[in-house]
Amino acid sequence: MARKKTERFPLLMYKAIAERWRWPAFLLIPAGLVLWWAIQRSSEGDLGARAWLAFLISGVGVLLFLYTLLANRACIRCHEDHFTVRTPLYPVVFSYRRVQSVRPVKFAKLRPPQKEKEARRRLYHHLWGKTSVVIDLRGYPLPEWWLRLWFNGYLFHPQTTGLVVLTEDWMGLIRQIEMRRTQLKRARRRA
């Protein structure tokens, strides 16, 4: 049986992180190698801890660069009986049965920029005016502390149990979730 193609809704929070950190992370790689080369040229014998520090800088650059590539792929996908929030490192499946309601809310209303740290205001400056999708949940599929380890903190609703999803096509996401929830309810009534 062929799998149905699901629409992908990119998560703008992770895109902002990827855009901000991609080039600095990439530049750490040659910077560490140049530092290693300079240390090697300056010392004849044992390179010691300084050489390892140079490799560590390049290694951190590689890991950060890979994270930014994965962050660009972060999205939410709506399937027949669940939706998946795919973050850079950890995908989580949410059943539509957990969803109480889906509604649009201005992101700045949920997270007022004046209450945020300056670094976050600068990182997300173009997102404060956007509309977010709030998905109110009956509960999380995993313990909240575990999800907070893997998810961006802005994905959690600040007052209630739920998700705050920032995506360009917020109307399409709401339509997909509501349509799938309705189909699931009809199928349960028939059964």
Per-residue pLDDT reduced to its tens digit, 7-41: 899 999 999 989 888 998 988 888 888 887 887 77
19 in a structural domain:
no
Give CA–CA dist 1/142, Å, rounded: 30
Per-residue pLDDT tens over the stretch 148-164:
999 988 999 999 999 99
49 in a structural domain:
no
Strand order in the sheet with 91-95: 8-10, 75-78, 82-86, 91-95
171 in a structural domain:
yes
Choose the weakest-confidence range: 10-19, 69-78, 112-121, 161-170: 112-121
Average pLDDT, the chain: 88
113 in a structural domain:
yes
Output 15-22 pairs: Cβ under 8 A, ≥24 positions apart: 15/71, 15/72, 15/74, 16/123, 16/124, 16/126, 16/127, 17/68, 17/71, 17/123, 17/152, 18/68, 18/69, 18/71, 18/72, 20/123, 21/64, 21/67, 21/68, 22/65, 22/68, 22/69
Per-residue pLDDT tens over the stretch 92-115:
999 999 999 999 999 989 988 888
- In order of 156, 165, 182, the CA distances from 168 in angstroms are 18, 10, 23
16 in a structural domain:
no
39 in a structural domain:
no
Give CA–CA dist 182/74, Å, rounded: 26
For tokens 């995506």, what's the residue?
167
Q: What is the pTM of this model?
A: 0.82
Structural domain that includes position 177: 96-190
- Is residue 5 scored above 70 in pLDDT? no
The pLDDT confidence band at residue 188, using thresholds 50, 70 and 90, is confident
13 in a structural domain:
no
The pLDDT confidence band at residue 187, using thresholds 50, 70 and 90, is confident
Domains: count for the chain: 1
Q: What is the pLDDT of residue 1?
A: 43
60 in a structural domain:
no
